[in-house]
Amino acid sequence: MSLIEYSKSPDFEKIKDRLQKIHFETYKKENGVFFRGFDSEGNKVFSDVGLFIWNFKDINRLKGEVGRIVRGILRDRSTSSSYRDRESPVSTKVIGDFPGELLEKYIPLEKLGEGGFGKVFKVKRKGGTLPLAVKVPKLEESARKYLMKEMEVWRNLNHPNIVKLYDAFIEPIPHIEMEYIEGYNLNGEIIRDLDTYPKPANPEEAIKLIRETGEGIKHAHDRDIVHRDIKPSNILLTENFTPKITDWGLAKIGAKSTTTSSIKGLTLLYSAPEQIDEEEYGKTDKRTDIYQLGVLFYELITGRLPYTGTTPAQISLKITNPNIKPIPPSKIDPRLSIFDGIFEKLLAKRKEDRYKSMDQVLEALNSIEEIIREKEELKNTLTKTTQKLKISTDKREIERLTRDLVDASIKLALKCIKVNDKVGLLDTLELLKNYVKSEDNRRDLEKAISYIEYLIKEGIPIGEDTVEKLKVLFNRIRREWN
């Protein structure tokens, strides 16, 4: 009788149930890690199975659930304390679902995660000392031939914000060796990626994470490499809070598979419109990564995703419908108004309406940081100047202080324009209105304020024509005080 035939017999079904119970109880007891060796019930099961399974050599041919259970049992049995050399330096723990085909090469230390593209383990090479991360991707036979080509592209990426790929293999099963990222210790809890990072994040922390992630994407884009699957679980965190992008090329490999729809389903919430409806929005390109980075940023800032739904169809419709837009951050928290404008461009449905490059995104992030700093400085300046104006009787000093306020307000307005922060711009124009002398300038400024209010209501970005008109108006107001 072959092992496949034996596995279908009624006796083996009973044994399989007992094996599953041992498997489950051990998993629950040890939090995902299996100790070597078995209790008395485990030994009874093996005596019932008999030497037939123990002597079967071609265990890798066994398919399905029975195969997974038996491989795990044989793996633990073969490395239990009663079967191995007592002086062996091998770890006393084995990861339950680590592929048996790789046990001759690696010592598994910990299961780091599992997702749509496969499982990731912390390991050491046999005879090695440094930990590695090994990913075992889920690939159909038709997609395996693309693995080495795409991994060679990843291997050539060398940047502080990109996980380093060491090597990739097809045999005995497809697997990838990567840099091991230890995770960030947040109040005693190890946060391995942005998926488990608490949200909403502090705006300063969110900007730092997105900027550094953007630097990694820019490095790839400068080499004409597009990721296409920027999402929280693909942004790992180091112990010093540095984000590193992983899984380069796997989305492209997954697209070669006949099960692409299931892979898409796992990342749908972070998909760009063109990934869902190519006919309407065109093919993916570098701006696809920019959109996905925007989704990541939006989630970090607001604590929610731009589009949600109870079914994939609902989510897809919201992402692709040009009349459905994300809630502006200022509607979630008024203190986030400075971010409204950047998301209008990051999350634009049409690629043509987004930032054209990562350079522009990074420039916008820098401008937001400058605006945040300048707003605080302006608040301090306004407070001090107001106090001085209350007690000052010197006309020249009053004019100088007012001129300083006008200059600071115009600089702040221009910063708001740069990042499309319409709410911040509106506040600044309202402030500036108090220091306009001529009726013509006041009238034009009030018109500008009304128009910005309209743009906010309709969710329309500040256009180039509006920018030029405001710059002309600002120069006229400046001249009033010079």
Q: CB of 289 within 8 A of CB of 355?
A: no
Tokens matching residue 316: 């897809």
Active-site annotation holder among 76, 97, 193, 229: 229
d(C-alpha 237, C-alpha 208), whole Å:
12
Residue linked to tokens 């220091």: 435
d(C-alpha 331, C-alpha 339), whole Å:
11
- Which among 61, 66, 74 has a CA at the least distance from the CA of 20? 66
Helix axes 64-78, 10-30, angle to 10 degrees: 60
Q: Tell me the pairing of strands 175-179 and 184-186.
A: unpaired
Using a 10 angstrom Cβ sphere, with 0-12 exposed, 13-18 middle and 19 or more buried, the burial of residue 473 is buried
Which amino acid is located at 457 in the chain?
A: K
Query: Does the annotation mark 229 as catalytic?
Result: yes
| Strand ranges inside 367-476, DSSP E | none
d(C-alpha 274, C-alpha 169), whole Å:
32
C-alpha distance from residue 334 to each of 97, 383, 397 (Å):
48, 22, 35
Helix axes 358-391, 286-302, angle to 10 degrees: 40
Which are the catalytic amino acids?
229
